Structure formats: structure tokens, C-alpha cells
Amino acid sequence: MTRFQEILKKYWGYDTFRPVQLDIIRSVFEGHDTLGLLPTGGGKSITFQVPALAKEGLCIVVTPLVALMLDQVGNLKRHNIPADAIYSGLSQREIELIFNKASAKQIKFLYISPERIKTPLFQHQIQGIDVGLIAVDESHCISQWGYDFRPAYLEIADLRELVPEAPIIALTASATPDVIDDIQKQLQFKNGQVFRKSFFRDNLIYISRFVEDKMHYLLQILNKIDGTAIIYVRNRKRTYEIAKFLYDHKISADYYHAGLDHSIRKQKQEYWQNNQIRVMVSTNAFGMGIDKPDVRLVLHLDLPDSLEAYYQEAGRGGRDGYTAYAGVIYNQEDLQKLKESIEQKYPPISEIMRTYAAIGSFLRIPVGAGENEEFEFDFSRFIVQYKLNVATAFNAIKLLEKEGWIELSEPIDAPSKIHILIDNNDLYRFYIGNPDFEGFIKILLRTYQGLFSSFININEHHISKKANISVQTVIKYLQILEQNGILKYQGRKSSTYIRFLQARMEERYIHISPEFYQYRKAHDLKKIQSIIQFVSSKEQCRSQIILEYFGEKDAGICGMCDVCKEQIDSFEHLRILAQKVINMLNDRPHSESELLQLLKTNQTILLKAISPLIDEKKIVLNDEKMFEKCN
């Protein structure tokens, strides 16, 4: 325990662990396969990073999102922990250099996507590396019952065969009982242990409002609740429209979505995190990797399509432990749109096959070729060229992913980078013979470390200021140095990639299982019904609905959500509760804790219900602190 605390203090500056974290860390360190269920903001990363630093060997971290991968690598490096990531868009040379560092024990954490595991280069290289731990983040993605199933996650079992001695830690912030069992099965847990912290958030107040004039209510709630806020909507256009509406009403707001340029997104995020912007209106692209503790309101203006997604997004509020609100504003049109979305999400099988054929033609991949190759993919140009409906094509691609034919990466913003290809002596000889480049090369060497051993991210604007030359001249110098074989230069790019997981086949041979297609459709419809039940409930505590969904069957009520508040003020509800207490005490005395558990209520409501019974001497608290009926 002292060793773990030393690591925590040294790298993160904390003195103590949060609840459950230490149990997970001990289990992992002792070599047990371990599943950790911690709510959003519960400190999942610490539970694999601390034992990995305490153990020998590399920690391989499997995660589905490149943005999250790069964010975590950046955070580790800022804490002086060596880490790297392999993702779509890297050249073979870059990947080989990362593996060389891993073999030389120069990095401690290697982040990869699940699709990377079955590539021949990875399978060959990893066998020569000492791997001490495998961490699987967002592990619900491995289960067909999870809300974001990804077939490539099933390949993680192959990773176990490549490094059989390494234990696995699987982590997720949202998993139903079926998903918990399936995660362990798919990851082939041996003597596995499961640790979970209750999904109950005692400082998060859930509110749902059915209103026709959403924008009027939006202004009301923002004027009533102080502090930073996130507003979630389902499409990019609405992020701009709502942010402008708020700005026009004197509320500091901005908008965010994945289609914005990387530098713009980064600037918006920094303004919001530094409280220069109060409200961020966003699609679900905003939030991953963001750990702003003082968010006081998370508001959904459009309905999410599952309770898992809602819980993750709502959980970004109140991470500092102080009261925060998670609200949903909806109307009848929203309910109808959500029900109709299931048809849009599952286009006809004929359209899926047509989209597959169009992708192959667009990328000019011959039939029988392309297996395990990735191709830069311009989705907008693809849609225009083949006259496809945007939503239909996108959902067809997602279903082709789930069937294991292709993989679509999220947009990747790769910074510029360079790698010096010659040694120090040859570099010295070059700039002695080319004095125009001497000062420029020395600025590169003084500004960036490690240029001789690997690709290093650079910033052309930063270099131009140091060298007192234009950015265009910086780029020109780097291109000339590349042409002379001095270095390799890769300019900034923002790209989406498609990887063919199997060789391209003729359209008629593409098989989309009708049974599995219908099963998935029915399963997603059930998830939609769960979110509709959550927002429309007038009787059951909203927190209790979430907890029961995630398998906490004995969950009490929160006493804080809008349903609970209404019940506290409802004479009829209190009268019914009082009668239930009388009926229970007819059998035998009960303690307060027994009544709370059996009635699934909270202390405030219980005491308000039974106070008249005590005043009227119908019940009494006896010497053993048990409630009993008076004679």
C-alpha cells in the first residue's frame, strides 16, 4: 500500500485513493484478471496506471477513441511518465520506432486501438516485448449487449495468446449485469475479480421537464443555476444555433462539434475550461478526456439514445463533489424523433451492400485486395460522388463495422512532426556545407528533444517566431531538408481512415445476417424505450431508474430529483407511505434502516410520512430503537 501511495503522490500529487480504487489496484498488482466499474469521473485511469508503474514491463492500453488515446498519452507525458500511441495515419516507420522504444523499455504505456491487434506488424513486434499488464478501457464495447459494441474488441482475446503471462484489467463507467458477465467471458478471465462503486451520485440532481417552448425554459434554468454548463444536442447545426441564441440573450456561450478544425476546437475547449466561456453547446463529441471539476449543469436539449450514453454525459457534472444538476428538456416531437431514429439507424440490407460496393469503388480497391490496409477517406466527397443520403450511408458504414467488414476511424487531427534520419556527425557536416541552414537546424535541435530517435511533434508557428522567419519559409526549409535526406517531415493533417478488415469482395458475396440485424435493431429499440421511461416517469425516482438499469436492484430513492421532490410535497404519496408502514408494523417492529430498505425511500420522505403517526401515538420508537405499533 505504501508503494502505491508513493506512486500516487509522486506523479499525481494525491495523498489518498478514492473508494474502490485501491481494491482494484491491489487485485491487478497481485496478477488477477480484474473488472473495475467506476462511474464517469471516478478515476478509472489511476487503477491501471498505478499498478503498471509498480510492476515490471510495458502496459498495453486498448481504447476505442484516438482523441481519448492522445489525450491520455499527453497527460502521462506531462506527469513525466513515458507513453506513446499507435493509431491510424501513422507511417510504418513511425510505428517501428515506437516498437523500438517499447523493446528498449523507453516507454511504460503503449496505447492502441483494438483493430491494431490483428495486424501482422503488431503481432510480430509484441512478442519481443516484456508486457506486464493489459488494460482494456471502455470495455463495454466488447459485449454485443453493450451500447457501443465493436467487433474488433473481440480480438483482444488473441492478445492474451501473444502475451499469456500478463493479467488483464477491464474498465468501464457503464455496464448492465449482462454486459458485466459478457466482458469477463469475452476477455477469458482466469480467477477474475469484479469491483464496482455504486453508480449513485449523491451530489447530482436529475431533472426532466416536458415543455413545448424549450428555449424559454433553457433561459430560465440557466438564469436560475449559476456556474459552468454543458448543453448536449444531436446535430452540429443546432450547436451553432443554440449558442447564438444564448449569446443574443447575454449568456456567454460557444459551440463545439467534431467537424471543426482541431485548433479551433482546442481553443474553444481552453476558453471553457478557463471559465472565459460559461456554456458549451455541443454534440457528444465534447466531454471525452475533459476533467473540469466544477460543471454545475449538464443539460440535454435532445434525447440521447440510451441510458448508458445519458449517464456518461450527465456524469460530467459535479466532479468536484458539490451539487450539480443533470437536466433533460423534451417534448412530444423529441419522443417521436427518437422512435423514428431506429429506422434511420438500420437502413435496408440492400443499401448496406450498395454502400460497401461504393466504398470499394471510391477508394479504387480491386476485388480480392485491401485486407488490413487503411485508406484516407473523404466522407463528404464520397456522399456527393455517389449521390448518397448522409445518414443512410453513415449508418450503413457503422453496420458494416459491426459485421466485421471495415473499420471507420473518427476524424484524426495529427500535428506536424519531424524525425532526423542521419546521425549527429553527418548533420554537422551538412550544415557546415550548407551554412544557410545552420541556424535553422540548431533552432530545431534546441527546441525539440529526441529528434534522432523518433518522430517528434512540432509547431511551425512556434519555430517561425524563434527563427524570425515566416511560417511558409519554415515549411519550405523542412521540405528542402527532407528532399536532401536529412529528415522526414509530415505536415499537420486532419483525416478519417477506413481500414478493410477483410479483402474487398463483390457486393453479392457480402453477408449481413438478417437474424443478427433484427436482433440488434430490437436491442437498440429496447435501449430507446429505457431512456423514454427515464425522462417520462412521474412515479419512480430518476436516480433509482438508472441504478436498477445497471443492476443495483435494492437501490433506494435519492430524495433530490424532481420526482422525489414532488413526492416529498405530495400529501397523497405520504399518506400511502404511512399506511405501508402501519401494515409492516402489524407483523413486527422494524428499524429505520429496515423501513428505508423495504420501502425503497429515503430518510427525509420516511420521517415526513411517519411524523403524524408518532404525533398521534399510533407508532412509537422503543428502547431498542425499533418502530412498533402502539397498543
pLDDT recorded at residue 289:
56
The yes-or-no verdict on residue 412 having pLDDT over 70 is no
Q: Is the dihedral of CA 481, 483, 485, 489 positive or negative?
A: positive
Q: For helices 21-29 and 2-12, give the axis angle rounded to 10 degrees.
A: 110
pLDDT recorded at residue 288:
59
Percentage of the chain exceeding pLDDT 70: 97
Neighbours of 238 (CB within 10 A): 18
- From residue 424, give the alpha-carbon distance in Å to each of 420, 427, 430: 9, 5, 10
State mean pLDDT over 103-129.
89
pLDDT per residue as tens digits for the range 92-113: 888 889 999 999 999 999 999 8
Q: Which residue has the cell 444536442?
A: 233
pLDDT per residue as tens digits for the range 152-162: 788 888 888 88
pLDDT per residue as tens digits for the range 585-625: 988 889 988 888 888 777 888 888 888 888 888 888 888 88
Question: Which cell numbers in the block locate residue 557?
Answer: 430513492
pLDDT per residue as tens digits for the range 12-44: 988 899 889 999 999 999 999 999 998 777 788
- The confidence band for 290, taking pLDDT boundaries of 50, 70 and 90, is low
Contacts 24+ apart (CB under 8 A), 540-543: 542/206, 542/207, 542/208, 543/200, 543/201, 543/204, 543/206
Q: Which residue has the cell 550544415?
A: 431
pLDDT recorded at residue 621:
87
Mode of pairing for the β-strands spanning 34-37 and 193-196:
parallel
What is the C-alpha to C-alpha distance for residues 537 and 230, in angstroms, rounded to an integer? 24
| Paired strand residues for 59 | 109, 133
The yes-or-no verdict on residue 546 having pLDDT over 80 is yes
pLDDT recorded at residue 494:
65
| Dihedrals phi, psi of 410, to nearest 5 degrees | -75, 160
pLDDT recorded at residue 594:
86
Q: Identify whether the C-beta of residue 255 lies closer than 8 Å to the C-beta of residue 281.
A: yes
pLDDT recorded at residue 414:
67
Neighbours of 144 (CB within 10 A): 16
pLDDT recorded at residue 166:
92
pLDDT per residue as tens digits for the range 381-398: 999 999 998 889 999 998
Q: Identify whether the C-beta of residue 43 lies closer than 8 Å to the C-beta of residue 12.
A: no
DSSP 173: S
The yes-or-no verdict on residue 453 having pLDDT over 90 is no
Instruction: Cite the DSSP H helix spans in 490-602.
Output: 514-536, 542-549, 562-568, 571-587, 592-599
Question: Which cell numbers in the block locate residue 547?
Answer: 441504478
pLDDT recorded at residue 147:
67
What is the C-alpha to C-alpha distance for residues 412 and 282, in angstroms, rounded to an integer? 18
What is the C-alpha to C-alpha distance for residues 128 and 133, in angstroms, rounded to an integer? 15
| Paired strand residues for 408 | 498
pLDDT recorded at residue 480:
92
Neighbours of 449 (CB within 10 A): 9
Amino acid at 532: I
The yes-or-no verdict on residue 410 having pLDDT over 70 is no
pLDDT recorded at residue 8:
93
DSSP 284: T
- From residue 153, give the alpha-carbon distance in Å to each of 88, 112, 183: 16, 11, 10
pLDDT recorded at residue 178:
87
Q: Is the dihedral of CA 341, 346, 348, 351 positive or negative?
A: positive
Helix, strand, coil shares, percent, the chain, to 5: 50, 15, 35
Number of Cα atoms under 13 Å in the Cβ half of residue 172 = 27
Strands (E), 266-363: 279-282, 295-300, 324-330
Q: Which residue has the higher pLDDT, 572 or 33?
A: 33
| Dihedrals phi, psi of 274, to nearest 5 degrees | -90, 10
pLDDT recorded at residue 323:
93
- The confidence band for 88, taking pLDDT boundaries of 50, 70 and 90, is confident
- The confidence band for 209, taking pLDDT boundaries of 50, 70 and 90, is very high
Task: Report the range of poorest mean pLDDT among 163-172, 244-253, 484-493.
Answer: 484-493
Q: Identify whether the C-beta of residue 351 lies closer than 8 Å to the C-beta of residue 304.
A: no
Considering 238-252, 425-439, 493-507, the range whose residues carry the highest mean pLDDT is: 238-252
- The confidence band for 175, taking pLDDT boundaries of 50, 70 and 90, is confident
Number of Cα atoms under 13 Å in the Cβ half of residue 574 = 18
State mean pLDDT over 495-515.
85
The yes-or-no verdict on residue 520 having pLDDT over 60 is yes
pLDDT recorded at residue 293:
87
- From residue 97, give the alpha-carbon distance in Å to each of 85, 404, 455: 11, 29, 8
Mean confidence (pLDDT) of the chain: 88
Question: Which cell numbers in the block locate residue 474?
Answer: 519554415
Q: Chain-centre distance of CA 378, in angstroms?
A: 24
Percentage of the chain exceeding pLDDT 90: 45
Q: Identify whether the C-beta of residue 445 lies closer than 8 Å to the C-beta of residue 451.
A: yes
Considering 125-129, 252-256, 376-380, 498-502, the range whose residues carry the highest mean pLDDT is: 252-256
| Paired strand residues for 490 | 417
pLDDT per residue as tens digits for the range 296-343: 999 999 999 889 889 989 989 998 889 999 999 999 999 999 988 888
3-state secondary structure of 407: strand
pLDDT recorded at residue 113:
86
Considering 52-56, 63-67, 114-118, 490-494, the range whose residues carry the highest mean pLDDT is: 52-56
Q: Which of 172, 126, 118, 167 is nearest to 146 (CA)?
A: 172
What is the C-alpha to C-alpha distance for residues 558 and 600, in angstroms, rounded to an integer? 10
Q: Which of 353, 227, 231, 206 is nearest to 302 (CA)?
A: 231
Q: Which of 61, 313, 4, 278 is nearest to 174 (CA)?
A: 313
pLDDT recorded at residue 11:
92
∠ CA(157), CA(159), CA(164), 5° rounding?
A: 95
Q: Which residue has the cell 503488431?
A: 122
pLDDT recorded at residue 81:
95
State mean pLDDT over 579-589.
89
pLDDT recorded at residue 596:
83
What is the C-alpha to C-alpha distance for residues 612 and 206, in angstroms, rounded to an integer? 29
| Paired strand residues for 36 | 171, 195
